[in-house]
């Protein structure tokens, strides 16, 4: 991993916050670059751990007689960006892996 350094003063005394990096020398703050690959829903919204997603089409579960119906909502999702089914969640009481093109993010009220 490359050592962080401030883009302004080039010092490497950097405080790491959740979404920001802060230079302890000159006080400059900038956004962290997210290393993980983004997972996007069918409409291009970026999904995050803990989001709720909703099916946008019926999808039969492979190997079962269960069908996930369009409009069905998940519990909070977990993302595995490197996986073939990068969204894991519970839906209708089942633990399932989903592809992002079958879901849309539910915008929290
Ligand atoms: Zn600096």
Give the domain CATH number at 66.
2.30.30.40
The conformational region for residue 84 under phi > 0 = left, psi -120 to 50 = alpha, else beta, is alpha
> What pLDDT does 63 receive?
85
pLDDT of residue 81: 85
Ligand 1 center to 8 CA (angstroms): 5
Q: Are residues 99 and 85 in the same domain?
A: yes
50 and 14 in one domain? no
Taking the centre of ligand 1 as the mean of its atom positions, its distance from the CA of residue 59, in whole angstroms, is: 51
Q: Rounded to whole angstroms, how far apart are CA atoms 19 and 92?
A: 33
Separation of CA 38 and ligand 1 centre (Å):
29
How far, in Å, from the CA of 34 to the mean position of ligand 1? 20
C-alpha pair distances (Å), 18 with each of 13, 36, 87, 97:
17, 14, 22, 27
- Bridge partners, 67 (sequence order): 60
Q: Provide the number of structural domains found in the chain.
A: 2
CA 49 to each of CA 26, 34, 36, 102, 105: distance values in angstroms, whole numbers, following the listed order:
33, 14, 12, 17, 11
User: What is residue 34's predicted lDDT score, i.e. its pLDDT?
Assistant: 61
Neighbours of 5 (CB within 10 A): 14
Range of the domain at 82: 39-105
Q: Residue 15 and residue 42: Cα distance in Å, rounded?
A: 36
One domain for residues 56 and 101: yes
Q: What is the pLDDT of residue 100?
A: 96
Q: Quick one: pLDDT at residue 32?
A: 85
Instruction: Give the pTM.
Output: 0.64
Residue with the two structure tokens 């983004």: 38
* 35 Cα–ligand 1 center, Å: 22
Dist CA 80 CA 84 (whole Å): 9
In this predicted structure, what is the pLDDT of residue 82? 82
Residuewise pLDDT in 10s, the chain (109 residues) = 467 899 999 999 999 998 899 999 999 999 987 665 789 999 999 999 999 999 999 999 888 889 999 999 999 999 998 888 999 999 989 999 999 999 999 987 6
What pLDDT shows up at residue 25? 97
């Amino acid at each position: 991993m490359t050592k962080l350094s401030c883009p302004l003063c080039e010092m490497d005394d950097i405080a790491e916050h959740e979404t920001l990096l802060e230079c302890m020398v000159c006080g400059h703050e900038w956004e962290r670059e997210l290393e993980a690959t983004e997972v996007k829903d069918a409409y291009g919204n970026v999904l995050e751990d803990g989001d709720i997603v909703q099916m946008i089409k019926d999808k039969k579960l492979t190997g079962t007689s269960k069908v996930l119906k369009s409009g069905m909502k998940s519990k909070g999702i977990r993302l595995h960006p490197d996986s073939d089914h990068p969204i894991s969640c519970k839906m209708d009481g089942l633990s399932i892996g989903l592809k992002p093109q079958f879901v849309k993010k539910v915008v929290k009220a």
